[in-house]
A and B are shown apart, each in its own frame.
Chain A
């Protein structure tokens, strides 16, 4: 079991995490755009996309919450070995990982403070599939409109309503990632 936790990380971290960050940046800067990432082999049910985001963005300074379904010993060991991120409760988390249902209620996560809205959580939501249909997105990063298969509308609408507070979200499915910053307005497609 231990040897499984030691493997599956970036083989060349500086280069691979740089490429991964560019994909994450592109995803967050252009909501609705679906990008492909590579370079890690995390234990199931963790997707490649979520694994890449964790290894690129998390370390000892970023408390991480694992939602039920992802709070398994193999995943905990793998994340701890590769990132050192402390595993915490939702209210203390800088990052949270899990399926959308398992992360509920999302109102538990940090939305920042009025004077420091950046002190908010980033959710990594594991999806069965990620496609450019469903909800209609508008806002910064989108020229006209974009579409993304969101798991729900109401929560993201509420999240937009409290802008500049709010959490930011990455969606992952297999080796695909997409982003939804708090600034995006969502409507039913």
Chain B
């Protein structure tokens, strides 16, 4: 073990966060204020998610951390090491083996299961913030279910671009009540929010908010009858594993205009290639 208190935070802080999480779970989609602490990493690096994860961890947990779907980027690696050091928990890159998954901006392709807790790092938790900067006003709008402004924003997308151009951070309505910001996940992931067997928790450190989606919560992406919500992705297959159904990153490969598309979910892509699936460039890259 380390010389840190279990999972870094002191007990008083964990109790405060735990109470906020429970209220968040009881009021799906409502942002519960909490006294966010300074963490040994800058705001914007997942301090909200880290505090929620720290409050939920038990020694028996196996933790997975992803950053834009990848297990091996700086943010994911450093948070994983942080909890290895301060909580002594096991870590994994396999979605199916993890009991807690902390994520920055993706939901894995492998479906989540009942035993899992899924923790989002949230930069701006208030879906109405860019439309109405005053907290007093947005709070009142949530109170009165006054969400017309959100639809005006989507309508302006249609008026300007002919289609709803919002491609990530796509607003949702939870259980017919609160409009919620699902964090900047691509709208491709929005359908996975609804009816998910895992417990989904959201932590915004700088903005000091925690909110939650209990398992199997009904989550609807906002849209119009004549412009229904579409979970879009790049019109390609993964160039490494050939997956047609996974969310893709576009990678520029040289200065001749060549590019490749690869799964953003590194664990999913690796799993498919290990099972013998090969994409357009899969042979060369391997």
- Quick one: which of B16, B26, B56, B117 contacts A28, CB cutoff 8 A? B26
Interface check A155, CB cutoff 8 A: no
State how many angstroms separate the Cβ of A135 from the closest Cβ of chain B. 18
Interface check A140, CB cutoff 8 A: yes
Which residues in chain A, 1-53, are within 8 Å of chain B measured between CB atoms? Answer: 13-15, 17-19, 21-22, 24-25, 28-30
Interface check A86, CB cutoff 8 A: no
Which residues in chain B, 213-243, are within 8 Å of chain A measured between CB atoms? Answer: 213-218
A59 and B7 within 8 A (CB): no
Residue in B closest to A22 when the chains form the complex, CB atoms: B58
What 7 A-B pairs come out closest when comparing CB atoms?
A181-B26, A14-B6, A141-B214, A140-B214, A118-B23, A168-B26, A140-B217
Which residues in chain A, 114-138, are within 8 Å of chain B measured between CB atoms? Answer: 114-118, 120, 122
- Quick one: which of A15, A142, A181 contacts B25, CB cutoff 8 A? A181
A-B residue pairs in contact (CB < 8 Å), sample of 7: A14-B7, A15-B6, A17-B11, A22-B56, A57-B19, A117-B27, A140-B213
CA distance A75 to B116 in the complex (A): 36
A15 and B59 within 8 A (CB): yes
Interface range for A:
35 or more
State how many angstroms separate the Cβ of A33 from the closest Cβ of chain B. 10
- Quick one: which of A21, A115, A141 contacts B143, CB cutoff 8 A? A115
B residues in contact with A118, CB < 8 Å: 20, 23-24, 27, 30, 32-33
State how many angstroms separate the Cβ of A161 from the closest Cβ of chain B. 13
B residues in contact with A25, CB < 8 Å: 18, 21-22, 25, 56, 117, 199
Interface string of A67-95 (1 = CB under 8 A from B): 00000000000000000000000000000
Interface check B262, CB cutoff 8 A: no
Given contacts A25-B199, A114-B143, contact A182 B27 (CB under 8 A): yes
A residues in contact with B178, CB < 8 Å: 164
A residues in contact with B7, CB < 8 Å: 14, 18
Given contacts A28-B25, A168-B22, contact A140 B58 (CB under 8 A): no
A residues in contact with B175, CB < 8 Å: 139-140, 183
Contacts A21-B14, A117-B27 known; 15 new A-B pairs at CB < 8 A: A14-B5, A14-B6, A15-B58, A17-B11, A18-B6, A24-B18, A24-B22, A28-B25, A30-B215, A114-B143, A115-B140, A115-B143, A140-B217, A141-B25, A183-B214
CA distance A120 to B218 in the complex (A): 24
Residue in A closest to B211 when the chains form the complex, CB atoms: A118
State how many angstroms separate the Cβ of B208 from the closest Cβ of chain A. 13
CA distance A59 to B212 in the complex (A): 23
CA distance A45 to B42 in the complex (A): 47
CA distance A30 to B199 in the complex (A): 9
CA distance A57 to B15 in the complex (A): 5
A residues in contact with B218, CB < 8 Å: 140
CA distance A19 to B56 in the complex (A): 9
B56 and A21 within 8 A (CB): yes
CA distance A172 to B21 in the complex (A): 20
A122 and B22 within 8 A (CB): yes
B23 and A168 within 8 A (CB): yes
B11 and A164 within 8 A (CB): no
B27 and A183 within 8 A (CB): yes
A residues in contact with B27, CB < 8 Å: 117-118, 163-164, 181-183
Residue in B closest to A168 when the chains form the complex, CB atoms: B26
CA distance A145 to B234 in the complex (A): 38
Interface check A56, CB cutoff 8 A: yes
Interface check B280, CB cutoff 8 A: no
Given contacts A140-B217, A141-B217, A142-B216, contact A18 B26 (CB under 8 A): no
B214 and A30 within 8 A (CB): yes
B216 and A140 within 8 A (CB): yes
State how many angstroms separate the Cβ of B268 from the closest Cβ of chain A. 25
Interface check A149, CB cutoff 8 A: no
A residues in contact with B11, CB < 8 Å: 13-14, 17
